[in-house]
Amino acid sequence: MGRIIDVHIHCSEMDDDILNSYAKINGLEYNMKELIDLMKENGIESGLLLSPALANGIPVPNERIIELCKRSNGRLFPVLTVEPSKTSVSESLQMVEKNKGMIKGFKIRLGYRSVYPYDPVFYPLYEYAQMTSLPVMYHTGDTAVPNASLLHAHPINIDRVANQWDELKMIICHFGNPWFMDTAEIVYKHQNVYADISGLFLRGAKYSSKYMGYLAEMISNAIYHIGNVDKILFGTDYPVETYSDAIAFVRMLDIDEEDREKIFYYNAKKLFF
């Protein structure tokens, strides 16, 4: 097996982490030891660690994400979650300055905070991110809780940001699920917009295996629309997907071997390392 970079991993080791229920469905313990062991077993060279949300809707503090990464022996790198407030934006920028080279990007939770990506509160962040070439990741599409806003989480909103900030590197997480073709169009249209394929499916539903086949067809079609795989990134959204399922999914895409390696490794290597 070739090398792999996972651009979308969660972990907190906290009891009120909302992803604990997903871990249970997948039979995962969802802790740092298990994560590092799974990464080694599955050839995951490195990964980006993102803050999961707690039961009260607040994300796990970025400080904790940085601490967990420090315990990973250079395998995990933090992405800072930025909330739509002046304080969160300025604190995040200070944190990047303090941890130079370690932090790999920013993440914005659109649907969970009912904020559009083009909200002016993010302008200082975008200026900094554009200047430093640190990508901004957006949770787009379906949300893990029923009372979040799909309107704000729709990937079409990214087009407006990309028009305004043409050198800002942006990642549409979860391929905008289920708006795959909308996402494909935005990735096709803008040279600095990427998409990850993390967290697309869950085990245990009646039609789970058929659903995976349907998703593989949708993502393959999206790739044909874009015309190449150069801005598509592998991710699990651990513990939402298991490593074995996520890797099997990339093998189901109807693309050639060279492109699979780009998705698994080379695209992320170029963008983050």
* Cβ neighbours of residue 215 closer than 8 Å, sequence gap 6 or more: 200, 201, 249
CB 9 to Zn ion: min, Å: 8
- Cβ nearer to Zn ion, comparing 106 with 259: 106
CB 167 to Zn ion: min, Å: 25
Q: Are 46 and 105 in contact (CB under 8 A)?
A: no
Residues of the shown chain interacting with Zn ion in the complex, contacts defined by CB under 5 A: 237
CB 65 to Zn ion: min, Å: 12
- Cβ nearer to Zn ion, comparing 234 with 255: 234
CB 37 to Zn ion: min, Å: 21
For 63, the 3-state DSSP assignment is helix
C-alpha span between 268 and 230 (Å, rounded): 10
CB 168 to Zn ion: min, Å: 21
- Cβ nearer to Zn ion, comparing 121 with 144: 144
- Cβ nearer to Zn ion, comparing 17 with 237: 237
> If you compute the radius of gyration of the chain from its CA atoms, what whole number of angstroms results?
17
- Cβ nearer to Zn ion, comparing 31 with 221: 31
CB 125 to Zn ion: min, Å: 19
C-alpha span between 134 and 129 (Å, rounded): 5
CB 64 to Zn ion: min, Å: 16
Calculated CA dihedral for residues 238, 239, 244, 250, nearest 10 degrees: -40
C-alpha span between 27 and 153 (Å, rounded): 29
Helical H segments across 17-149, by residue range: 20-25, 32-41, 62-70, 86-98, 110-113, 123-132
C-alpha span between 243 and 42 (Å, rounded): 7
- Cβ nearer to Zn ion, comparing 84 with 239: 239
Helical H segments across the chain, by residue range: 20-25, 32-41, 62-70, 86-98, 110-113, 123-132, 150-153, 157-164, 180-189, 208-226, 243-252, 257-261, 267-272
- Cβ nearer to Zn ion, comparing 138 with 180: 138
Q: Is the dihedral angle over the CA atoms 61, 267, 269, 91 positive or is it negative?
A: negative
For Zn ion, the nearest residue by Cβ is 237
